[in-house]
Amino acid sequence: MPFTPFHLGPALFLGLVLLRFLDFPTFLIANVIVDIEPFTVILLNLNYPLHGFLHSFLGGTLLAIALTALMTGVRMRFDRILTAFKIEQKTSTGKILFASLLGIYIHIILDSYMHSDIRPFYPLDINPFLSRSMLVGLKINMLCTWMFIAGLITYAILLILWARSHR
């Protein structure tokens, strides 16, 4: 899914459900950052696979380490935004790393079902996730859309619980 918003569905839902275990803003970013690769390929008209190294677990792991280093340094800047949305959480480098890895790996797995140019186990030239179904793209997009709706419902429940605890 080159630079589509669909990855925000799983990010929102799973990020809120796993709020105690991962860093929420890092998880949101991790779920979409992998698409800097196809965006760059298209924007610069590069002679490079649309879904290349960053769409592999090896490349994704390196990207997750870089994202962890970046977010560890700037994470406190997100606190005001989180507070405004009533999503307050204590974070740690471990939670940031977990969010980075999980978000990026979810992105790679979802895209691996749909795109034949992805090699998730690079340097091995295989993609065991690739579906031959003509409807796989529609199914993945619908899953992501439903997860976004579930994320909104989860967020509404969290807001209700927050309001009750602050009476």
| Cα–Cα distance for residue pair 2/111, rounded to 1 Å | 9
CB 102 within 8 A of CB 61: no
Report the pLDDT value the prediction gives residue 5, as an integer from 0 to 100. 80
Q: How many domains, the chain?
A: 1
**Mean of per-residue pLDDT scores for the chain:** 95
- Structure pTM? 0.93
Query: The tokens 């709706």 sit on which residue?
Result: 149
CA distance linking residue 30 with residue 63, whole number of Å: 9
Under a CB-based contact definition with an 8 Å cutoff, are residues 162 and 89 in contact? no
Tens digits of per-residue pLDDT, 55-85? Answer: 999 999 999 999 999 999 999 999 999 999 9
Q: What is the pLDDT of residues 22-43, one digit of tens each?
A: 999 999 999 999 999 999 999 9
Q: Give me the domain span that covers residue 30.
A: 5-165
pLDDT for 97:
98
Distance CA 21, CA 18 (A): 5
The predicted-structure confidence for 122-152, as pLDDT tens digits, reads as follows: 999 999 999 999 999 999 999 999 999 999 9
CA distances to 35, 50, 88, 133 from 56, rounded to whole Å, are 12, 12, 32, 22
Asked if 79 and 23 count as a contact pair (C-beta separation under 8 A), the reply is no
Is residue 104 predicted with pLDDT exceeding 50? yes
Q: How far apart are CA 17 and CA 109, in angstroms?
A: 20
- Give the pLDDT confidence score for residue 1 in this predicted structure: 47
Among candidate residues 33, 149, 27, 134, the one with its CA nearest the CA of residue 82: 27
Alpha helices in the chain (DSSP H): 8-17, 24-33, 36-43, 57-74, 79-84, 93-114, 136-165
When mean pLDDT is compared across 65-69, 88-92, 102-106, the lowest value belongs to 88-92
DSSP label at 50? S
